[in-house]
Structure 1
Amino acid sequence: MSYSTQTQAQTEAGEVAGKEFLAFTLGREEYGIDILRVQEIRGYEPVTRIANAPDFIKGVVNLRGIIVPVVDMRIKLNLGTPTYDQFTVVIILSIGGRVVGMVVDSVSDVTTLSPEQVKPAPEMGTTFDSDYLIGLGTLNDRMLILVDIDKLMSSSEMGLIEKMAA
């Protein structure tokens, strides 16, 4: 990691400290996103598929008159085959004026992280692009992988959602 990249990572990690994060699970890992992006949390319900959409776009739902694209995060992040049960939820996000649904295995709680609890994300070379990571939040024996949901949901492939939902 270069000095500028490390400094940028430390700055980003510092900026999130003191913020509240919604903790959710995908497989065995626990992730956190900025609670200010969360509009609501709903139980998983069947979606309307969109022809020729990428696999990670499950489809769309009608949320009080708004057509909301729904992204399955297990598929998006290559975390195995998704299963849908009574714990599966859709987190409705408001990002850059868009409303997007995000399917996760479950949600647990809202956590506030202090500056000492947020560490820069290590370069791991995994299937998960570290550009979307803010850092790692540590809480006693828990570790939250902090996701920059704005970057993840406004990546180039996510632009496809708007075109398909239109």
Structure 2
Amino acid sequence: MMQAANSNATDTLATRDFVTVFVGETMFGLAIDRVHDVFIPAGVTPVPLAPPEIVGLLNLRGRVVTALCLRRRLSMGPRVGEGAQMAIGLEQGGETFALIVDGVGEVLKLGADTHEPVPINLDARWRDLTLGVHRLDGRLLVILDVDALLAFGTNTRTAGVA
């Protein structure tokens, strides 16, 4: 009986909020404490010779922000269909990034009871960018590791400085 009480306490403590975003039909989760803004990207200026994941630079309330395409970062196919894309404002190492996604969903409060480790059959290109998954009513929510996702942006700036 004591063990059950402890596991329930652990589940309660492990509850986290995630902002859901979509790339095509795939649903991803970002820890809400990492999300600073949700907006429609406008006025993106391409950056010559930037890696394909970098869409360009944009102005977000007076700050120059690097726009990173989640679809390209995860090596997903080209976007199908019309409609405005959305952006999620994230910070990493004092820099602001705009993560470009196909759509933004709701905020979900999830406990450890639905969390599973990264599946072994998850695409190898995603494994290092994922913290785990949550199974939700027949859908899979892939939790992204924001630090790993944005490490690419940081590394591209410092790669040639050695």
State whether TM-score is above 0.5: yes
How many residues are paired up? 148
String of CA shifts for 1:96-117, please: whole Å, max 9, x gaps.
Answer: 3221000000011000111111
Matching residue of 1:54: 51
Superposition TM-score, scaled by structure 2 size: 0.81
Q: 2:55 matched to 1:95?
A: no
Q: Aligned partners of 1:135 and 1:125: how far apart in 2? A: 10
Q: What is the CA distance between 1:36 and its match in structure 2?
A: 0.7
- Percent of residue pairs bearing the same amino acid type: 27
2:41 aligned to which of 44, 69, 93: 44
Compare CA radii of gyration and give the structure with the larger one: 2
Matched-pair contact (CA < 8 Å) for 1:77–1:127: no
Q: Structure 2 residue aligned with 1:24, among 7, 21, 24?
A: 21
> For structure 2, which runs of at least 5 residues remain unmatched after alignment?
1-10
SS state at 2:125 partner:
coil
What CA distance in whole angstroms lies between the structure 1 residues aligned with 2:125 and 2:117? 15
Structure 1 gaps, min length 5:
1-13
Look up the equivalent residue of 1:112 and give its one-letter code: K
Report the Cα offset of residue 158 of structure 1: 3.7
For the residues of structure 1 that align with 2:40 and 2:27, how far apart are their CA atoms? 19
Matching of residue 122 in structure 1 with residue 119 in structure 2: yes
Report the aligned-residue RMSD: 2.3
Structure 2 distance, partners of 1:145, 1:17, is: 17
Q: Which amino acid aligns with 2:143?
A: L
The equivalent residue for 2:145 is: 148
Q: Could you give the per-residue CA deviations for residues 41-89 of structure 1, whole angstroms, max 9, x where no partner exists?
A: 1113241011100111000001122110000111111111135843410
| Match status 1:159 vs 2:155 | yes
Partner of 1:6: none
- Hey, what's the Cα distance between the residues in 2 that align with 1:19 and 1:81? 31
Report deviation, 1:137. Answer: 1.0
Relative CO higher for 1 or 2, CA cutoff 8 Å, sep ≥ 6? 1
Instruction: Give the partner amino acid of 2:29.
Output: G
Alpha-carbon distance between aligned partners in 2 of 1:103 and 1:144, rounded to the nearest angstrom: 18
2:130 to 128, 133, 141: 133
SS in 1 for 2:148: helix
Deviates more, 1:44-53 or 1:98-107: 44-53
Q: What TM-score, normalized to structure 1?
A: 0.79
One-letter code aligned to 2:156 = L
CA 1:81–1:20 in 2, change beyond 3 Å: closer, same or farther?
Answer: same
